[in-house]
Each structure stands twice: as C-alpha cells, then as structure tokens.
Amino acid sequence: MVRSIRALSITLTVASTVGCSSFLLPSQAKAHHESPTQISSAKYTYNPQLVRLYTYECTKKLREVKGDTADKASQICQCSISQMQQQHSQVQAIQIFTKAQASIKNDPKAMPPELSPYFTPCISTSG
C-alpha cells in the first residue's frame, strides 16, 4: 500500500532532482495543446507517462485504503490530476508530490494535506 506511493514519490523525487528533463513536453508552454491524458480546460500539460504513473499508483492506493472500485478510484485520480493541471506547472506538481510523501510516512492511510485540495472536488462529484 505505502510502497506504491513511495514508488511514485521516489520517481517524482528523482525526476525533480534531475531537473524533470525526461518528463517535460516540448509543448508544455502551450496551454491549448490537448492530449488524451488531459482535459481541454487544463492550464498546464504534464508528460503523459507521469500522468499514467500517478493515476495507476493513486488508483491502487484508493482501492487498498478506501475499498473503491477500480473505475471509481480511477475516475477520482484522473480528476485530481486534472485539478492539479489547472493550478500548477509540472515542476510545481512534482514538488507537491514530494511533500506529500513526508505526510504519508506519518500516517499511511490518511490523505496527505498537500493533495487534499485536488481530491476534495473530485470525491464530492464522484457520487
């Protein structure tokens, strides 16, 4: 359970340490660029590999901790990353994920406060 979040955090920490060059898209500065892993209203574009990794690890965590179905967990996780894309650049998002890792160490089953603002609107609309 915690291992999956740690794997994501380690990946993101390594990416932030090396300057995120492998996660940056050439079109990142173009807010109007759309991809299958982004909703059209997103302000920032994240690397699709980063979005897939986040969604996979997040879905796995929600299923383990909350007992959500795979579809519901995936929907909440996709929504949360979309919320983040509307507010933060990819580099800022990686910094948020890194801070969240410290919170997870303190309480593995609790929602890290750093991520709560992005999940709250998604959980309330997921039914």
- pLDDT tens across 89-126, in order? 999 999 999 998 888 888 888 888 999 999 999 987 66
The answer, yes or no, to whether residue 10 has pLDDT greater than 50, is: no
CA distances from 41 to 36, 38, 66 (A): 13, 8, 29
Model confidence pLDDT, tens digit, residues 45-80: 999 999 999 999 999 989 988 888 999 999 999 999
User: What's the confidence (pLDDT) of residue 16?
Assistant: 38
What is the pLDDT at residue 125? 65
Report pLDDT for 17.
31
Q: Contact 87/43 with Cβ under 8 angstroms?
A: yes
What tokens does 105 get?
A: 């160490």
Q: How confident is the model at residue 8 (pLDDT cuts 50, 70, 90)?
A: low
- Do residues 93 and 114 lie in contact, with contact meaning Cβ atoms separated by under 8 Å? no
**Nearest in space to 65 (alpha carbons), one of 124, 5, 17:** 5
DSSP 60-119: HHHHHHH---HHHHHHHHHHHHHHHHHH--HHHHHHHHHHHHHHHHH-TTSPPTTTHHHH
Three-state secondary-structure class, residue 3:
helix
Distance in angstroms (rounded) separating the CA atoms of residues 27 and 36: 14
